[in-house]
Chains A and B, each alone.
Chain A
Amino acid sequence: MMSKLKFGFYWAASCGGCEIAVLDMDEDLLEVLDVADVVFWPVAMDIKYKDVEAMEDGYMDVVFFNGAVRNSEQEHLAKLLRKKAKYMVAFGSCAYTGGIPGLANVSNREEIFDVVYLKSPSTVNPKKIVPRTEVEVPEGELTLPVFYDVVKPLDRVVDVDYYLPGCPPPSSLVLDAVRVIASGQLPAKGSVLAPELSVCDECPRKKENKQITEIKRIVDHTPDPDKCLLEQGFICMGPATRGGCGARCINANMPCTGCGGPCPGAIEQGSAMISALSTILGLAAEKEEGFDFEELLTQLKDPVGTFYKYSLAGSIINRKVKR
């Protein structure tokens, strides 16, 4: 038998769900451990950064890196792990396109610190203490990582070999990825390790006539469980989102919010959804008397949060304009 592979797992700006996705493989994890030893995984084993520094370059076969890059420590680790790994996999939406943390790019460091440390209703901070990257104490100098102005996807700071989409990636995709890696039949660099289809392709719902004259929100209505959600007026990101999840949310009667990332071949996800939605939003009604397009438009509450929920930091306009 060929010698075992060496895997590393790391988390940066993420919620921890990607780590759970690995554990979610249940007994399939045994198959992973048959082909690979995990040599670095801070969430599950006691290992220090200096142990990673001591590794030879390329020592690990694959590092699965989840989370976006939000501070200097994460960037440092991304660069270090890149050196120590033969293949770097951006694991999950945050590493791939910024994910939910990337939505912070509608703001910036100053505004965020202001709210979190000074203004939020639950903050009590009479001395107005805000974290600094360096401070002198009698024992010497203490340092903290630099909090960046923006959130960046992993490939903004290091070269990435493969992308594993999802928030978190479905366990089946993780297992498929491990199998492909173990087989040595690796796809072209830069590939997304997920099927070449959209969520709509995987969706079992009845699709009939996509023309809507109302945008509904899931907080106000309960959808019919059999009909296409978009046709019912709920913004479902299915047409602009890569499948591979088996339409998980739709099967729970919730619209897809887009965690699978852009469809194969798409430049970016959000504008693809704007484009798709434009083809069904009251087009037929436009030629009727009394149709009020402006009113329809006001029903769209949060374009960034709706169309770019997981991909803002990896999109064409990836942060708020600085004046």
Chain B
Amino acid sequence: MSYEPKIVGFLCNWCSYAGADLAGVSRFQYPPNLRVIRVMCSGRVHPAHILEAFRNGADGVLVAGCHPPNDCHYISGNLKAKRRVAMLKKLMIQMGMDERRLRLEWVSAAEGEKFARVVTEFTNQLKEMGPASMKAMAVAEDD
């Protein structure tokens, strides 16, 4: 069987989740590798949520929110998400993780097509990269 990456996606309620919905009703095709978690705002996503997802075996994590600078319904949640993701990527590099496994995208409620494209691209990229070895690493059991 070919390798199917597991992607956890945190989508903000107002833009990106609606964008995903639009992709669905418009019948755009995209791979089924994404597990969606709807959050009120991308600014709700705590870095610990992302790290936990990796620790529990996610091969990729997608955070998607409203376009900056002004689309976020909570004024600056998307800008906070941008900073969290940027700092996490630096952290991931230090910890020997491939930072491409974490992806931030701006998807509006009108961008169903973009949503489908992002998921397709990300899935293909992760397929190429192969499984994350996160699980084995995080438990620190081996001596």
Contact = CB atoms under 8 A, between A and B. Distances in A.
A212 B111 CA distance: 33
Nearest to A314: B140
B67 to A, nearest CB: 13
Contacts of B70: 287
7 contacts: A149-B143, A272-B46, A274-B88, A297-B90, A319-B140, A320-B96, A322-B137
Contacts of B68: 286
Contact of A286 (B79, B94, B142): B79
Interface stretch (B22-30, B51-59, B117-125): B51-59
Contact of A321 (B69, B84, B97): B97
6 A-B pairs with the lowest CB-CB distances in the bound complex, closest first: A278-B83, A271-B47, A321-B96, A320-B96, A316-B51, A271-B48
Contacts of B69: 286-287
Nearest to A281: B83
A317 B95 contact: yes
Contacts of A148: 143
Interface of B: 46-48, 51-52, 54-55, 68-70, 76, 79-84, 86-88, 90-91, 94-97, 133-134, 136-138, 140, 142-143
A150 interface: yes
Contact of A293 (B86, B134, B140): B86
B34 to A, nearest CB: 22
B76 A283 contact: yes
A271 B138 CA distance: 15
A156 B138 CA distance: 12
A318 B140 contact: yes
A197 interface: no
Given A303-B91, A316-B138, A278 B133 contact: no
Contact of B90 (A149, A300, A320): A300
Contacts of A322: 96, 133, 136-137
A64 B122 CA distance: 49
Nearest to A297: B86
Contacts of B55: 316-317
A152 interface: yes
A293 B138 contact: no
A322 B137 CA distance: 6
